[in-house]
Amino acid sequence: MSPFAFRSLVVCSVLLIVAEGIVDWSCPSLIPQSVTAALEKESATSFLEIHPYVSLAVLLPWLIAVLVSTVGLLFFKRWARSMALYSTVLGLAVYFFFGSSLSSAIGSALTDASSMVWGAVLALAYYSPLSERFATQDR
């Protein structure tokens, strides 16, 4: 795989998750009103809503790590692939504390596609001939 193709996959993963946010924000009618009303009636609030300072203390550094590692992957920085892997695992661990959420079918498809592309990026960063670019000293 060429470096351009790898970088394209990194950018594609980011663009897909941004597209999901835009679709669900700009087209709330894609989610049936009855389902939205049912979620609003749910009394259970998530841990992160109850403890906003804990949320900020955990989510802000995590978001920064995700952004920095994504940029680092674009430049084949040695530290970027491990930071991307660890921030992905941390994101999965924190995900359980978010509580219930709704997404349209299109939004869910875009999120799933982004996750699959991100998985491919991580796999390529570690287990492809391209991984040698990460093993060399930072350029």
In tens, the pLDDT along 77-127 reads 999 999 999 999 999 998 887 777 888 999 999 999 999 999 999 999 999
- The total of other beta-carbon atoms located within 10 Å of residue 78's CB is 15
- Secondary element (H or E) of residue 52: helix 52-74
Question: Taking the model in full, what pTM does it have?
Answer: 0.86
Q: What is the residue extent of each domain of the chain?
A: 3-135
Contact 98, 34 (CB under 8 A): no
- Report the SS3 class of residue 25: helix
Contact 18, 70 (CB under 8 A): no
Residue with tokens 């287990």: 127
